[in-house]
Structure 1
Amino acid sequence: MKKLLLLVLLFPLTVSAQHEFGYHATWYFSYGGIGEFGYKKVSHIGDTTMLGMHWLEFEVTGLRAIKTGPNPNDVVVLDSSKFYSPIFLATRNDSVFRLWDNNTPYLLYDFSAQLGDEWQFAPDDSFAGCDSLPIVTVNKIGVDTIDGHPMDFMHVLFPMDTVYYGSTPFYQPMSNATLNPKVYPQFGGVLYVSLFQAEPNTCDGRIVDWTYHTLSCFSNDSLSISLTNQPCDFVPFISVDEYEAVNFEVYPNPTNDLISLKTDEEVKNVEVYSLEGQKLLETKNTESIQLPSSSGMYLIIVWMEDGKKAMSKVIKE
């Protein structure tokens, strides 16, 4: 018989002898949304008691880069350090609870679930026309290798049905919220809209632009993994006024293939980035620099021998 774990309002819980989910843990997420992107760091900073329960408290900090307009040539500036509302997680045996609206615990993950088991991971709500309870069913259990480490996972399914947007049918989840379908007991999910919360889901045809958080790095007392080839807290864009004035030019711009640099300064090295912040090239060459094969816009950051730096955008046609 399948086991069904429903959302419950919790009575005081005792903490198990094992370390709670997230104990001494730090997550780094890159994120992107309308007009902004950046990274967030989630760190265990202490314990607290609320609603008769023992909770781990997590501080959320980070940086964000903000576009000043919708066009490719609009300036990208780096906002100052951001501090966000704390996150509270509680563990009982293998069940992880999240504090909902700062006053109600709800079950987020059941890491004791086996094949065919179910749990309700968010409060019942008819948001956006969804008429099924937010319940997942475990349909696969396995092991992935992430950054050289074996990571247990379970894959979950949601209630599905055919929904018509106008006259077009779509087969999609029917609950008001979803989880990333692959869940890792060691660190949770690799993708969130709101960190460590269920993702809102629409069933009425509306298109909603969420901010998506993607896991970059995770560490605790016994594990350290990276899912990126960049530093965990990497955001390469800084505001224009943080660049010292340098007589500097990239040409031709736009270009079909190669660019060259013209400056009166002595150049130490040149870096080429995508608009998503990925470093694509680093060279000491200032002539005939080969851009990536894809058309689009790239950021050119030039470091001078005296420590000055300059930035320019270039379009590859």
Structure 2
Amino acid sequence: MQNNPGTSAITPQERNTGNWSASQEAWRFLPNGTETTPLVTLQWFDQNSNIIGTGDSIEVCPTTNQQYSVSATYTRCGGTDVIMVQDSYAVQIENLAVHDANQANTAFQMYPNPVDNLLHIKSNTALESVEIYSLQGQRVLTTIQNQINVSQLASGVYLIRILDVNKASVTRKLVKN
């Protein structure tokens, strides 16, 4: 290995003695000493080409769809060519509208609540699952039925999560007498 001006070189031991060959051999050279400039410079840009950060990563909190890009700049070995590589990232924001949440909330009805033995669930679409959880987070009952026998549950407060086949879901408080 030789320095750029060609005034100094280092050879592996036993290798500068004439012709030689190698098979499945690799060498890794690590610089020592103090590097005064970084090997790669990163710059992050917003969609208006404003620099918004440098370094390996950035944190952004967009409220609308945005396009971000990063450029990596480095000098090729030998110091003659400066290389710039760029990549772009699109961030899409999808808001859950209030009417969507209300629609999911009213798409399911459950009664009676409080319940003694039989809980009824009415849904505009087929149910995929109904799960009842204790307040400690333990799932105590799972079904796909719209009439659920809860007589085996101890009296108390539970959370019930109802999911339909369209992936609309709602979680509500359930009181067992």
TM range (shorter): 0.3 to 0.5
TM-score w.r.t. the length of structure 1 is: 0.23
Structure (1 or 2) with the greater strand fraction: 1
Give 1 or 2 for the bigger CA radius of gyration.
2
TM-score w.r.t. the length of structure 2 is: 0.39
